[in-house]
Amino acid sequence: MKILIVAATRFELEETINKMEHVLNNTNMLIKCTYKNIEIDFLITGIGMITTTYYLSKVLDDSYDVAINSGICGSFNRNLEIGSVVNIYEDCFSELGAEDGDKFLSLNELNLPGSIKITNSSSSLNYVSEMLPKVNGITVNTTHGNEKSIEKVVTKFHPITESMEGAAFMFVCENEKIPYIQIRAVSNYVEFRNKNAWNIPLALENLNATLINLLNEF
C-alpha cells in the first residue's frame, strides 16, 4: 500500500514523521518513508489553496492508494472541545462568488457554472476514520476574526470548521478519483482573534496520535 499524507506545514506532521521506520528521501517538500508494510510520502505544500492545489496536482498519481490531508483548524462550534479531531467530509470554497451590497452571492446564485461545495464519498477508509466525528467546513484565504463576518458566513454556510487548504485538497482528490480523507484537530474557536485561547500543542498531539492510529488500521 502507498499513502500520500498532505499538510501545509511540516510542524503539523513532525510527530508522525519521527515515528516512521525508514526515511528514504527527505526534501523540503516531499519526504518518502516506510511504516510497517506501507510506503508513505509526506507532502508539505505551504499554506493556502493555491500552493496546495499546485503541489498536490504535481505529486498525486495512480500509484497512491489513499491520500490524507492532516492539519489543524478553527471551529465555529463550541460544542467541539479544543483538541478534538474530526473528519471533514464536506468542504466549501466559501469566498468564491460576488458581493451584492451587503449580500454575498455564490456561483449557483450567480447562475455561473461550477460548484463551491465538495462532498467526500470515500471519507470512511477504516475503523479509525469511521469513529471520527464527521463535520462540514469552509476553506478561506483569510481566516475569520470579525464578529460581523463570522455571523455572515455561519448564516450562509453553517460550517463547523475553517481551514485554508481543505477544499483545495478535496477538489484535486475528487478529480483524480483517489480515495481520501481530511482530518483536522481543533486548535482554536473562530472568534475575535485571541491567541491566548488557542492550544496548538494539544491539537498537534491529538492530530498526530489519530494519524498514527489511522495508519495502523491499514
As given in the structure block, the three cell numbers for residue 137 are 467546513
- Percent of the chain exceeding pLDDT 70 equals 98
β-strand pairing of 38-44 with 97-100:
unpaired
- Does residue 25 have a pLDDT over 70? no
User: CA-CA distance, 117 to 110, in Å (whole number)?
Assistant: 15
Domain map (residue ranges) of the chain: 2-216
User: CA-CA distance, 53 to 8, in Å (whole number)?
Assistant: 11
β-strand pairing of 97-100 with 30-35:
unpaired
The pLDDT assigned to 187 comes to 97
pLDDT tens profile 156-168? 999 999 999 999 9
- Does residue 40 have a pLDDT over 70? yes
As given in the structure block, the three cell numbers for residue 29 are 517538500
Listing DSSP states for 39-97 in one string gives EEEEEE--SSHHHHHHHHHHH--TT-SEEEEEEEEEES-TTSPTT-EEEEEEEEBTT-E
Spelled out in words, what is the top-level CATH class assigned to the domain 2-216? alpha beta
pTM equals 0.94
pLDDT tens profile 54-84? 999 999 999 999 999 999 999 999 999 999 9
In the predicted model, what is the mean pLDDT of residues 185-208? 95
The pLDDT assigned to 204 comes to 98
